[in-house]
Amino acid sequence: MLQSWVTQLGACAVALVCLYAIVAGTWRERFGAFIYLSGYLLTMGFSLVSSDHIAAYMLVADVICLLGFYIACWNTQHPWPQWALLGQIVSVAIDIIVLLNIGVGVTALLVVQTIAAWGVLLALLIGTIAVTKARRAARKSGVKKAPMTKSPLTKSS
């Protein structure tokens, strides 16, 4: 939830990075921002619904994000979706460890999961900055469209 200034600062960082990715990114960065925001909002909503089985709800949200970043990784030359996928794999592994009740400290698991989430957000930010720089360089050299900005799902004419 957003009770402390630290969580509010984190929510602002998520909102700003995702907004930047939506405005300045290609379809891949926009898709990544949508996936990250969806997972963030799902996690916030699950914590409002029930606190009994929060680890199971977190696993659902993290698996959805994992699948989304896997789709973003598919057939790409960009490295950032692979970094985001790695962060999501760590988050899913932490959720499974919590559900299996292996005996690892909850505080340590929360720290690792928080670091993984910030890593995914940082990967999205780095990917968006790289695309923005590529666009500027292409515009400066006179190329009409920056490379790798078209979705592979659209028909080429």
Show Cβ contacts of residue 10 under 8 Å, excluding neighbours closer than 6 positions: none
Burial of 142 (0-12, 13-18, 19+ CB in 10 A): exposed
d(CA 101, CA 95): 10
Confidence of residue 152 (pLDDT cuts 50, 70, 90): low
The string of pLDDT tens digits covering residues 77-103 is 889 999 999 999 999 999 898 888 887
What pTM was estimated for this model as a whole?
Answer: 0.83
Show Cβ contacts of residue 58 under 8 Å, excluding neighbours closer than 6 positions: 43, 46, 95, 98
Quote the pLDDT of residue 154: 55
Quote the pLDDT of residue 50: 73
